[in-house]
Structure 1
Amino acid sequence: MLKSFKALRPKPSKADDVIAPPYDVINSKEAFELAKGRPNSFLHVSKPEIDLEGVIAYNDHKVYEKGKESLEQMIKDGVLIEDSEDMLYLYEMADNDIRQLGIAAVGSVDAYEQELIKRHEFTKPDKELDRVNNISSLNAQTGPVLLTYKDNGELSTLLEAVAVRETPIYDVKAIDGITHRIYQVNQSDEQEKILSLVNSMDALYIADGHHRSAAARAVKHARQMENSNHTGQESYNYFLTVSFPESQMNILDYNRLIKNSLRLTMDEVLRKLDEHFEVTSVEDAFKPSEKNHFGMYTNHQWYSLKLRHSQTIDNPVEALDVSMLHNLILEPVFGIGDERTDPNIDFVGGSRGMEGLEFRVDSEEMDFAFSLYPTPIEALIDVANAGMIMPPKSTWFEPKLLDGLLSHRID
């Protein structure tokens, strides 16, 4: 499932200049501001539209060409270097409240297709095509796919031993205050042991990065068709990953914003909600602390919505709070259909806080906000093991892996 690789990475003295937030958590305007005065920022590769004049679509061919030009220039200038031999890396993220220590490696596209690396989300064709074009243009994968695995005491002990012994090749702090460290696993026997323990597991699970992994598969098949001497060992057969044990995964709530397209009165909304929920107005922003409990905000007022009757649901998807919200509120009350395409719904990750929900409603951009209890990592694994698909925007993982620390060049 996983193997070592030759990482394309910053020259150690340049790491602080290079690191950047993931391309998909900031918009072009934010990227432009972050990259000001930072010619070596990886944002020039991951958000290359910031270096083009005028308003330009994210998927314009000029954007991909500019990203390729920026990456090649950073390599030429020695800002980015590539290891000369395959290596395994450890990736650590830490602050006062959280610490994650995992494995940076490349994952097998074959294992992905055989569902040994399991997915739990559908992809959007336009976003997948964007990643295909990005990888094809750069000849590199620059955004790691976040994986998780069932806890393994022997593996965790080994990773800790390496991290204690080795000096990190990078020790940098992101703009959100999270410290990111990268270690090389220099001893070949430890590399082999780590990979043996991981590859003997029943499965790995994609936590975040479904479009990147799907795009890697598409690129692999395209290059295989073009290569009459294909062996299966080429670098395009693998995609960049970082894997953490399930107990270290930190999932935040992924909340919903709704437009009242049916123009329901508040009395009508409350009457419909009363069928399934105990509805109570509350003074402060309501952030649920348990399953089957939701918050609702509208007209400067928060409400607690508690499911009247607990339900035993065997289907792991239908048992999710995001499914219950859709099935009992969003669709029957507000007429929300497919959440991936309905124009009357939007999503806000928990890192934005309840204030982010209040702002969007108070500005009259949206009419109702719903806060949810975070989806447990165990639920994600149950859904993936069942071969099922979670509703869109079910999980928001924090902290985020950085762009620019580790990339994977492909043939």
Structure 2
Amino acid sequence: MIEPVRARILTPEWAPTVIPAPYDSLTADEQAQHLADNPDSFAHVAGSPPESFGHPTEHLHHATRSTKALERLIGLGAFGTEQDPRLYVQRVEADGHTQHALLGSVRLEEHELRPHEDTQPARVHGLAMHFNEVGRMSSPVVLTSPRPVAVTEVIEATVAAAEADPPLPAVLDTKTVDGARVTLWRAVTTAASTGVAVEGPLYIVDGHHRIAAARQANFRRVLVA
């Protein structure tokens, strides 16, 4: 079951400033420069702790800084008020391609989440410390399924409503620094507030370390796309 989530969503005014460049694609020096040049970047919150940290206390310091950075952004009004549990549909348009995803959560004990790669213990520990301190997830684990019929139905119904006259209003419509356009809608249909059933196993496309860290942090559910 893909379940609804309580979410704080970036406000349109803050989105271009807060959404960072593809952070994981930067070198360590480039990451440091990005953080120095962009005090409001969400990379201050979600940047992965370096695997080179030699002691668990360094992970704790990193997680504490992440928490303070998030609290700062919330205090500045970068995020709206927390929404009631809901599923969301996201559209990403980049380089001539368009991709849709359903955003929600899954309960770890209810699903077999099949991996395709190993994880690094130090990175898992650092992310688990981050989850423990911040108390929430900001980057969804990307999953896929061989039979996503119900998921597809919710996405198609929401996109159709967004393209109708009058259109379903987006809760966020912004462009990122690398030129991608990101649009987010509250999902329509009754499943939007109750959840969507999925058949068979779910496969992890991206987020192996986040899954392992969520288990280590005793999270019952994980944010997914």
Alignment of 1:26-41 (within 5 A): 26-41=26-41
Identify unmatched segments of 5+ residues in structure 2.
162-167
CA distance in 1, matches of 2:149, 2:107: 24
Change (3 A) 1:36 1:204: same
Q: TM-score, normalised by structure 1?
A: 0.47
Structure 1 equivalent of residue 46 of structure 2: 46
Q: For the structure 1 residues 154 and 129, does the alpha-carbon distance in structure 2 shift closer, same or farther, using more than 3 Å as the test?
A: closer
When residues 35 and 214 of structure 1 are mapped into structure 2, their CA distance, relative to the original with a 3 A threshold, is same
Question: Is residue 114–residue 203 contact of structure 2 (8 Å, CA) maintained in 1?
Answer: yes
* Structure 1 position 162, deviation (Å): 0.9
Is contact 2:119–2:208 with CA below 8 Å preserved after alignment?
yes
Aligned residues: 214
Tell me which amino acid in the other structure corresponds to 2:184. I
Q: Which residue of 1 aligns with 2:9?
A: 9
Equivalences for residues 122-137 of structure 1 within 5 A: 122-137=118-133
Q: 1:85 deviation in Å?
A: 0.9
Which of 209, 212, 215 is the aligned partner of 1:211? Answer: 209
Equivalent residues of 2:12, 2:174 under 8 A apart: no
Alpha-carbon spacing, 1:101–1:107, altered in 2? closer, same or farther (3 Å): same
Alignment of 1:111 onto 2:110: yes
- C-alpha deviation, 1:147, in angstroms: 0.8
Partner of 1:161: 157
Q: Which residue of 1 aligns with 2:221?
A: 238
Distance 2:215 2:205 in 1: 17
- TM-score with structure 2 setting the length: 0.82
Q: Segments of 4+ in structure 1 off by > 6 A?
A: none
The code of the aligned residue for 2:170 comes to: P
RMSD: 2.6
Say if 2:184 is the partner of 1:182: yes
CA positional deviation for 1:161? 2.8
AA in 2 matched with 1:171: D
Structure with the bigger RCO (C-alpha within 8 Å, sep 6+) is 2
Give the partner amino acid of 1:111: E
Name the residue aligned to 1:99: 98
Aligned 8 A contact 2:87 2:102 in 1:
yes
Alignment of 1:272-287 (within 5 A): none
Q: Which residue of 1 aligns with 2:82?
A: 83
CA offset digits 1:162-211 (Å, max 9, x no partner): 123223222222333222221112x4614158x33xx2411221111101
SS at match of 1:12: coil
Following the alignment from structure 1 to structure 2, what is the Cα–Cα distance between the partners of residues 205 and 6?
24
**Alpha-carbon distance between aligned partners in 1 of 2:99 and 2:131, rounded to the nearest angstrom:** 27
Code of the residue aligned with 2:210 in structure 1: it is R
Secondary structure (helix, strand or coil) at the match of 1:121 reads: coil
Picking from 132, 136, 140, the partner of 1:140 is 136
Q: Quick check: 1:150 aligned with 2:146?
A: yes
Q: Which residue of 1 aligns with 2:165?
A: none
1:32, CA displacement in angstroms?
3.3
- Contact 1:171–1:179 (CA<8 Å) still a contact in 2? yes
1:170 aligns with 2:172: yes
**Local SS of the residue matching 1:205:** strand
**Aligned AA for 2:180?**
I
AA partner of residue 207 (structure 2): G
How far apart are 1:213 and its partner, in Å?
0.6
Note the alpha carbon deviations across 1:16-47, whole angstroms, 9 max, x for none.
11112455333442233334553321012123
The amino acid of 1:179's aligned partner reads R
Instruction: Check the 8 A contact 1:147/1:204 in 2, yes or no.
Output: yes
Identity of aligned pairs, percent? 23
Q: Letter of the 1:119 partner, please give it.
A: P
In the alignment, structure 1 residue 65 sits paired with structure 2 residue 61: no
Larger Rg belongs to: 1
**CA-CA distance at 1:119 after TM superposition:** 1.9
Contact 1:28 1:47 in 2 (8 A): no
In structure 2, how many angstroms separate the alpha carbons of the residues matched to 1:191 and 1:105?
9
Asked whether the 8 Å contact 2:146–2:200 carries over to 1, the reply is no
Contact 1:4 1:106 in 2 (8 A): yes
Change (3 A) 1:106 1:97: same
In structure 1, the residue matched to 2:164 is: none
